[in-house]
Amino acid sequence: MRPANGQVRVWDVLVRVLHLAFIAGVTAAWFTRHSAGRWHEWIGYAVLVALCMRLIWGFAGPVSARFVGFVRNPQSTLLYLRQLLRGQAPRYVGHNPLGGWMIVWLLTLLAVISLSGWLSTTDRYWGVAWVMNLHLWATWALLASIPIHIAGAVHASRKFRENLIASMLHGRKRGARGTDVDVPW
Amino acid sequence: MNLFRYCILGLALITSAPAFASGLATCDSGDKATWQATSVLEKQLTEKGWSVRRIKEDGGCYEVYALDEKGARVEAYFHPVTLAAVPIKDQH
């Protein structure tokens, strides 16, 4: 668990690879949304597979990847929000409560988008307006949420003088110190 | 909060007007007052044996989602004044 100089490996390889897969999948799906051929559909199926793996990992993976390890109850989340607004939010070695809920939200949107997309290619739901609109509106919601997700990571990186984006690539973070909230290993 | 501003700007660029037309086909169809009603198109297609699911506008054309006479899914474009079929890039 402790590679070197107080660093801990927080994000395992599957969490990191699936995160990259979502980035690549969403980007590729966006740019093929009106393309000829079935690229958009195959990208959607790939995202759906990655999503299923992430959900399984959220129950069977290491603690830092597990939903019970980072999804907090509403009271703790509100408390964290208040601390954040006062500039007194503690550092979390895993996801902070708002970050945890953002992940749940992003995964939900990915599920809605990929399932409604698949549904709209079936004979039964072909051309059905609500399915197509759900696909569109969930996509706009995802597009609006991604900058907030990134802004949260950048904000926490600045506040605690660490590079969370790099951590999501190599998996390591500074271990818990002082008032930091550790991952419930 | 510079990052936030860049995000808003990026989002504004992505969502700017042309993004809403799919670009699959465009029709030079002029004033909407001259367009035929979608019900006329629907009737024509139904008589051909199509089961029309949805007709909406895209790029000045009528965009139709239907099952054709063989039960295959089709997405087809029609000129809203002449109701002539407008070819699109092969989708599937």
Confidence of residue A185 (pLDDT cuts 50, 70, 90): confident
pLDDT score at A104: 98
Residue B19 has pLDDT above 90, yes or no: no
Residue A168 has pLDDT above 90, yes or no: yes
What is the total residue count of chain B?
Answer: 92
Q: Is the dihedral of CA A118, B54, B29, B27 positive or negative?
A: positive
Q: How much is the mean pLDDT over chain A?
A: 95
Q: From CA A168, how far away is CA A10, in angstroms rounded?
A: 9
Beta carbons within 8 Å of A142's beta carbon, 6+ residues apart = A26, A106, A109, A110, A113
- Lowest mean pLDDT of B3-7, B23-27, B41-45, name the range: B3-7
pLDDT score at B16: 58
Residue B11 has pLDDT above 60, yes or no: yes
pLDDT score at A46: 98
Residue A108 has pLDDT above 70, yes or no: yes
Confidence of residue B3 (pLDDT cuts 50, 70, 90): low
pLDDT score at A2: 55
Helix axes A97-119, A39-60, angle to 10 degrees: 140
Report ipTM for this prediction: 0.77
Of A17, A184, A20, A6, the residue nearest A95 (C-alpha): A184
Residue A123 has pLDDT above 70, yes or no: yes
Residue B42 has pLDDT above 50, yes or no: yes
pLDDT in tens, B73-92: 999 999 999 999 999 865 54
pLDDT score at A184: 86
- Lowest mean pLDDT of B2-11, B66-75, B80-89, name the range: B2-11
Confidence of residue B13 (pLDDT cuts 50, 70, 90): low
pLDDT score at B55: 97
Q: Is B49 on the interface with A (CB under 8 A)?
A: no
Best B65, B70, B88 residue to mutate vs chain A (most A CBs within 10 Å): B65
Q: What is the pTM of this model?
A: 0.88
CA distance to partner chain B, nearest, from residue A143 (Å): 8
Residue A119 has pLDDT above 60, yes or no: yes
pLDDT (mean) for B15-36: 80
Chain B residue numbers with beta carbons less than 8 Å from the beta carbon of A126 are 53, 65, 67, 73
pLDDT score at B89: 67
Decide if A129 and B92 are in contact by the 8 Å CB cutoff: no
Chain B residue numbers with beta carbons less than 8 Å from the beta carbon of A37 are 90-92
Residue B42: phi, psi to the nearest 5?
Answer: -60, -40
Count Cα neighbours of A87 within 13 Å in the Cβ-side half-sphere: 2
Q: From CA A69, how far away is CA A94, in angstroms rounded?
A: 8
pLDDT (mean) for B3-26: 69
Chain A residue numbers with beta carbons less than 8 Å from the beta carbon of B53 are 126-128
